[in-house]
Structure formats: C-alpha cells, structure tokens
C-alpha cells in the first residue's frame, strides 16, 4: 500500500502528479502517480545525477528504450522516461501488490505449489527480458511484485542504464546477497548472471533464507565465490533445478528458456535456438566461460567456519611443480650416489676408480657425464615448457585469462 508523501518528497514529476510513496531503494524512490487519464502509474525518481554530456544521455535513453521493448510476460512495462533537469525519472506500469520480499518476510516460505507458480512466472519474465537483448543485473525478491494477475518483474534494464551514464558509480551493480560470481568479481555479465540470481531468489521463496546466507556482506560474497549453496528445504525437483542455476561457471547454468521447459515438465526441443544474447552497447555482452573468481582478500574473507559448503579446489601450477621436481631429482641422485660410494672401486695398478677418474667429490663423473647432465637439463626444461603451454591453454579455455 502507498505511504503518505513525506515533507521533502516531490509532488509532481513532469506531467505526473504524485500521491504516495511506494518504496525506496539504491536507485531511487518510487512514487504512485497518475497519467493524463487518471490511471495509476509507478514513477521512479532516480537518486543519481546523469552525466551532462549528450552522449551519456543518449546512451541512457537507448538502454531504457531497449527495456521498453520487453514483451509483457510477467513484467511491469516501462512507459516513459525523462532525463531533463536534476531529477530524472522513469514511468512504468503500476502493479497493485506487495513484493515477494515483503510477503516471505511476513508470511514465511511458499508451499510447493506456490513456489512452482512463482518459478514459472518469473522464469517467463526472464525469458522475455533476455529475448529483448537485456540483462536485468539486479533480480531479487524486492524486484518481484505480486499483482492480482500474478508475479511481475520490475526494474529490468535500469541498472545497466545507470551504470553506464551516472556521474558516480560504486563500480559493481547489484544487491550483494543475490549477485552472481561474475558480478562479484567485477567481470562482464550476461543472461546467465540473472539465472544465478533467480536461483537464489527461489531458494529464498522456498526457505525464507537466501542460498548463500544473509549475514555480513564479506561472508556472503565469500560463499558465492567459493562454496556450495545451502538448498535445505527445497522440494526435490526444484532443488535440482536451483542447484543447476547456482553453478559457478556461467556456461554450466541453464538458460531462462531451459528453466521454463524444466518447470513445465518436459525437455527443451532438440535444436531449439537459445535466447538472443546481448551485443555491443547499448546492451551488455554476455560473459565468456570463466572459472570461479579468485577468493576475497584476507581483509574481506569470512571466517571459514561460517561457510555453507566445502571450499573450491585450489589451482595448481604445473610449471613450478616441474621445476621443483627437476631440482629435487638432481639433488636426490647426487646424494644417493655419494651415500653409496658409487664409482669408488679403485684398482691397485692404476690408483683410479673404475671409471678412470681420480678420486674426488664426483668420482663417478666420467667423460660422458657432463654431456648427459646437459641432455638431462634440456629434456627437463623442454618438459617444463610443454607443461607450461598446456597450463596456459587450459587457463584460456577456462576463461582464466581475459582478452
């Protein structure tokens, strides 16, 4: 329900009179307004000031225009935008209902039937958003409104528009509890990032707790990057689906289209084309396959005891291991030979050892010894280089290196 306007709240946004406060978040405050016909609309007045240059404003308008092209499948359509003056605002459909966050906080988790209906509607919304070439970037329970005709997803495309055109930015767009690993790592994100956030939101709807916890931000981000989610309490089939959405590697997650087919109980049709992926600006480009991002620094890493699951496997360094193994083999060979007095069988007639070399620290080092040493070093170095090349190619394949 709308709250009364506060003393410092605006009473007008362009041609839209404002009559109540619907909510307030990181991007701006949302007010109940009315269009020329008297129909209710939601007017979001943005906190951030847009950059003054013309290119930034054009880029913002392109991003919002892309959001306006999203099909009306379980979404609240963007109706208008005005970026003139110091108070830019965006007008969208008014959904007369509370958010999923408010409902779960008040009434507790959804039952299995309610969870399945919610999953179906929100997956359909994500599919429509992705087909328009948009990545939501901030999918969370407070951005799912429960209207009389079913759930509606809001605020799609706005995060991207603000990220690229505001005067000041925190550098990472999204809500920490519902971020994907690639968002936490500051990498470019694609539709798979929304699927990850969707999985966390469904776990919240089913259990009342996000899949990676909701304590301190460093602890939550550490779990997102390095640990498995806590899906205790989800129904069996939904548990498997949500677990697949929470894969660390974006390429291992299903698409929004896959989610719909799975929820409906049948496999995607063979050869079905995936939803279009965002291209160059103004729409974001999907992230290429990447491994789990690096763990947080010691200053921000949570206590291991608070982790939800086992830590990710450490990365190996084949090149360093090869060099250390080569050195260790040489030292071991020399120490073994000295310990066994190898090559010290001296003949009475010659006063020399069996190899024809005068006794000394390396009595067994005959004429061909140093040639063998050089050959051994060359072979070891070649093996180390080969291992290094294999490691480099594997890292590139896994996305550990960015272009």
Active site residues: 138
CA angle 166, 172, 178 (to 5 degrees): 125
Distances in Å between the Cα of 253 and the Cα atoms of 34, 135, 257 are 41, 15, 11
Helices 191-207/256-264 angle, 10° precision: 40
Task: Give all strands of the β-sheet with 16-24 in edge-to-edge order.
Answer: 12-13, 16-24, 28-34, 40-46, 89-93, 78-82
Q: Three-class SS string for the chain?
A: CCECCCCCCCCEECCEEEEEEEEECCCEEEEEEECCCCCEEEEEEECCCECCCHHHHHHHHHHHHHHHCCCCCCECCEEEEECCCCCCEEEEECCCCCEHHHHHHHHCCCCHHHHHHHHHHHHHHHHHHHHCCCCCCCCCHHHEEEECCEEEECCCCHHHHHHHHECCCCCCCCCHHHCCHHHHCCCCCCHHHHHHHHHHHHHHHHHCCCCCCCCCHHHHHHHHHHCCCCCCCCCHHHHHHHHHHCCCCHHHCCCHHHHHHHHHCCCCCCCCCCCCCCCCCCCCCCCCCCCCCCCCCCCCCCCHHHCCCCCCCCCCCHHHHHHHHHHHHHHHHHHHHHHCCCCCCCCCCCCCCCCCCCCCCCCCCCCCHHHHHHHHHHHHHHHHHHHHHHHHHHHHHHCCCCC
| Cα 204 to Cα 240: distance, rounded to the nearest angstrom | 15
């Amino acid at each position: 329900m709308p709250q009364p306007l506060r003393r410092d709240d605006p009473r007008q946004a362009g041609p839209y009179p404002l009559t109540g406060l619907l909510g307030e978040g990181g991007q701006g405050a949302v007010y109940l307004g009315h269009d020329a016909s008297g129909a209710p609309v939601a007017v979001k007045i943005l906190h951030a000031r847009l950059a003054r240059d013309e290119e930034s404003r054009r880029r913002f308008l392109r991003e919002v225009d892309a959001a306006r092209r999203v099909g009306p499948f379980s979404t609240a359509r963007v109706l208008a935008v005005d970026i003139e003056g110091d108070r830019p605002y965006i007008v969208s459909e008014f959904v007369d209902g509370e958010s999923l966050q408010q409902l779960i906080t008040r009434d507790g988790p959804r039952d299995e039937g309610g969870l399945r209906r919610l999953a179906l509607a929100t997956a359909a919304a994500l599919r429509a958003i992705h087909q328009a070439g948009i990545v939501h970037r901030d999918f969370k329970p407070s951005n799912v409104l429960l209207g009389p005709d079913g759930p509606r997803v809001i605020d799609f495309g706005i995060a991207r528009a603000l990220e690229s055109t505001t005067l000041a930015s925190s550098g990472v767009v999204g809500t920490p509890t519902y971020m994907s690993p690639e968002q936490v790592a500051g990498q470019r994100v694609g539709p798979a990032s929304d699927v990850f956030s969707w999985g966390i939101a469904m776990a919240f709807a089913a259990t009342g707790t996000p899949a990676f916890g909701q304590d301190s931000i460093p602890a939550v981000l550490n779990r997102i990057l390095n640990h498995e989610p806590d899906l205790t309490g989800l129904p069996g089939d939904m548990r498997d689906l949500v677990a697949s959405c929470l894969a660390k590697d974006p390429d291992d997650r299903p698409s929004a289209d896959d989610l719909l087919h799975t929820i409906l109980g049948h496999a995607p049709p063979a050869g079905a084309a995936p939803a279009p992926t965002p291209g160059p600006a103004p729409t974001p480009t999907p992230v290429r396959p990447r491994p789990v991002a690096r763990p947080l620094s010691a200053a921000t890493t949570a206590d291991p005891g608070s982790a939800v699951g086992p830590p990710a496997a450490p990365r190996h360094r084949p090149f360093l291991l090869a060099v250390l193994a080569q050195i260790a083999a040489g030292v071991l060979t020399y120490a073994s030979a000295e310990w066994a007095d190898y090559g010290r069988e001296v003949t009475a007639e010659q006063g020399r050892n069996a190899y024809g070399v005068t006794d000394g620290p390396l009595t067994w080092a005959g004429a061909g010894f140093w040639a063998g040493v050089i050959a051994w070093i060359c072979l070891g170095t070649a093996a180390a280089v080969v291992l290094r090349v294999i490691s480099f190619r594997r890292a590139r394949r896994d996305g550990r290196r960015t272009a």
